[in-house]
Chains A and B, each alone.
Chain A
Amino acid sequence: MKIQKKKDLLIEPLVVLNIGLESFAKDLEQQGVKVLHIDWSPPAGGDPELVNLLSKLGS
């Protein structure tokens, strides 16, 4: 299989979006890597019924 990448991960400089543990983003920042940390929180505050609905109707 021939892989044609729109963005070749191993050639271009890494530009990272971090979702979850903020320490990962801080470590990358420390190394001068372009990283944006997302202020994520569980959908619908974690309410299982709504989380389920959102995953079905998902955006």
Chain B
Amino acid sequence: MKEIVINYVRHGSYLDSVALMQFSKKLLKLPGVNEAAIMMGTPGNLQIMADAKLLDESIKDLEGGDMIIAVRADTRANAEDAIETAKNLLEKPKDRLDSNFSWKPKTLRSALAETPGTNLVLISVPGEFAAAEARKAIRRGLHVMIFSDNVSVEDERALKMEAKAQNCLMMGPDCGTAILNGVPLAFANKVPRGNIGIIGASGTGIQEVSTLIAKHGGGVSHAIGVGGRDLRSEIGGITTLMALEILERDPATIHIVLISKPPSPDIVKKVLRKVAVSKKQVTVCFIGMQSCQLPGNANFAATLKAAAESALNKKFLKDDTMAERGFKENIDTPSFVRGLYSGGTLCAEAQVIFKTAGETLVSNAPIPGVKTMNECNETHSFVDLGADEYTQGKPHPMIDPSVRNAQLRDALSDERVGVILFDIVIGFGSHHDPAGHIKEFLANYTGVKTILIASVTGTETDPQELKLQIAKLKDAGVLVASSNADAASLALVFLKKLS
């Protein structure tokens, strides 16, 4: 088959050799095209094209400033199409190709060069790399929030000491929640600004307290997360103490709420010494502790709900009619409560309420005085599904509610379980529609005898919208209490009725 060579000359048009080579590459992809080039008609280029058998006899009297489109193809039609394509390409303004090559900063160093006004670095890389990134930030005098866990205690201590020396706040590691200047960070809710400051060693603890404050007409100045281990002896409460000082100096903060698991006695002393010199009212909420000797300016709250009430200095009204409306006949006895929680502190709060009521219970994340869960339990059980043993290689239930499905299934089909308690935590970071997911799941279980009780930790201004989430749960036959604590209390009421 004889190939066809066609040349086309464009006068008075100049393009860079590189640009022309890119066009040539496109022509080579066309059907039937064996060789193609678009080049300026210099003697050197003409030689190259001649060597590539791209020139036809028509090329004469060329000016150096002429552009040649040359195509060698299987058929005349192929060649002519290619020439047309080339002409179109040359007419069209270059379109912006997808940027594989847009620059995104790869390191803290280059990002800071780009944004020198940075004041906070939010770190959520795998734990083994988090410490190194935090160190870089602290050495540059930046505040840090470490969402990552699996950072060693030694690293945490060393970093917090360095941060302290630099007057930097280090929130975390294992800090899931913070609200600074009204901005929710990581897993947090949009709550109104107000005069209550929160310091929390727990993410969902901060979330429940801050949203309860919002639900009852109050607001939050700042919520500072300190990380799950800050109040352990090895760390010594470095960030908690710094946070107390920060909120002390903050004119917008009138009341401070401190939320944590019970710290060791030496740390409790240290923290309370600081609280004692504060000019502000402080609510101390050590979940799992019954009481605590406190200085005059401090109140003790045994639950998250009590902490919010103390901060607002009012008691929240409860909906007592729910116990009547929601009761289901024909429940077999004995009847146990199964709590399935995505928030660890919400699980703890429920345990506090049951333990205070004298009930026997077990948990995989027990508060002091509660036994650990094992396979065979003929008692109430409270499961923290965000704990390590459930999240190895799997997403956290707040991000992906479906990881709770298996437990729900088991509980619904377990005849000994009369009441299921669960939490729905919305806000930034959480799944976009956890209540919708539950509703869809429960559609397969209509007419079930188990009583379902939940609460929604969130606000109207959260992306998922509180009212919408509550409505979906109610549609699915779930009783929605106005707080996590109330949900647990409601479960107790049902237990009494059942026995």
- Rounded to whole angstroms, the CA-CA distance of A1 and B108 in the bound complex is 30
Q: Are B148 and A20 in contact (CB under 8 A)?
A: yes
Q: Are B125 and A40 in contact (CB under 8 A)?
A: yes
Give the secondary structure class of B's interface.
Answer: mixed
Q: Which residues of A contact B222 (CB under 8 A)?
A: 10
Q: Which chain A residues in 1-53 approach chain B with CB under 8 Å?
A: 1, 3-7, 9-10, 12-21, 23-24, 27-28, 31, 33-34, 36-43, 51
Q: Does B323 contact A (CB under 8 A)?
A: no
Least CB separation from A55: chain B residue:
B132
Q: Which residues of A contact B115 (CB under 8 A)?
A: 15, 17, 34, 36
Q: Are B167 and A19 in contact (CB under 8 A)?
A: no
Q: Are B118 and A17 in contact (CB under 8 A)?
A: yes
Q: Are A9 and B169 in contact (CB under 8 A)?
A: yes
Q: Which residues of B contact A38 (CB under 8 A)?
A: 104-108, 111
Q: Which residues of A contact B114 (CB under 8 A)?
A: 36
Q: Are A19 and B106 in contact (CB under 8 A)?
A: no
Contact of A19 among B117, B122, B250, B429 (CB under 8 A): B122
Q: Does B246 contact A (CB under 8 A)?
A: yes
Q: Which residues of A contact B106 (CB under 8 A)?
A: 38-41
Give the secondary structure class of A's interface.
Answer: loop
Q: Which chain B residues in 125-159 approach chain A with CB under 8 Å?
A: 125-126, 128-129, 132-133, 137, 141-143, 147-148
Q: Does B249 contact A (CB under 8 A)?
A: yes
In this complex, the member of A10, A18, A21, A37 whose beta carbon has the largest number of chain B beta carbons within 10 angstroms is A10
Q: Are A58 and B132 in contact (CB under 8 A)?
A: yes
Contact of B120 among A16, A39, A58 (CB under 8 A): A16
Q: Are B141 and A24 in contact (CB under 8 A)?
A: no
Q: What 0/1 pattern do residues 206 to 225 of B give for CB contact below 8 A with A? A: 00000000000000001000
- Rounded to whole angstroms, the CA-CA distance of A3 and B242 in the bound complex is 9
Least CB separation from A4: chain B residue:
B167
Least CB separation from B169: chain A residue:
A9
Least CB separation from A54: chain B residue:
B132
Q: Which residues of A contact B184 (CB under 8 A)?
A: 27, 31
Q: Are B121 and A19 in contact (CB under 8 A)?
A: yes
Least CB separation from B129: chain A residue:
A42
Chain A: interface size category: 35 or more
Q: Does B75 contact A (CB under 8 A)?
A: no
Q: Are A20 and B246 in contact (CB under 8 A)?
A: no
Q: Are B167 and A3 in contact (CB under 8 A)?
A: yes
- Rounded to whole angstroms, the CA-CA distance of A30 and B82 in the bound complex is 47
Q: Which residues of A contact B148 (CB under 8 A)?
A: 20
Least CB separation from A40: chain B residue:
B125
Q: Which residues of B contact A20 (CB under 8 A)?
A: 122-125, 147-148
Q: Which residues of A contact B428 (CB under 8 A)?
A: 27, 31
Q: Which residues of B contact A1 (CB under 8 A)?
A: 245
> Given A16-B118, A16-B120, A43-B129, are A3 and B246 neighbors across the interface (CB < 8 Å)?
yes
Q: Which residues of A contact B242 (CB under 8 A)?
A: 3
- Rounded to whole angstroms, the CA-CA distance of A7 and B180 in the bound complex is 14
> Given A24-B186, A38-B108, A40-B106, are A19 and B123 neighbors across the interface (CB < 8 Å)?
yes
Q: Does B446 contact A (CB under 8 A)?
A: no
Nearest chain A CB to B220 CB, angstrom units: 12
Q: Which chain B residues in 227-271 approach chain A with CB under 8 Å?
A: 242, 245-246, 249-250
- Rounded to whole angstroms, the CA-CA distance of A12 and B181 in the bound complex is 8
- Rounded to whole angstroms, the CA-CA distance of A24 and B294 in the bound complex is 38
- Rounded to whole angstroms, the CA-CA distance of A26 and B242 in the bound complex is 29
In this complex, the member of A5, A14, A17, A24 whose beta carbon has the largest number of chain B beta carbons within 10 angstroms is A17
Q: Does B119 contact A (CB under 8 A)?
A: yes
Least CB separation from B105: chain A residue:
A38
Q: What are 16 A-B pairs with beta-carbon distances under 8 A?
A: A3-B245, A13-B181, A15-B118, A16-B118, A16-B119, A17-B112, A17-B137, A19-B125, A20-B123, A23-B429, A24-B185, A31-B184, A37-B104, A38-B107, A40-B107, A55-B132
Residues of A within 8 A of B (CB): 1, 3-7, 9-10, 12-21, 23-24, 27-28, 31, 33-34, 36-43, 51, 55, 58
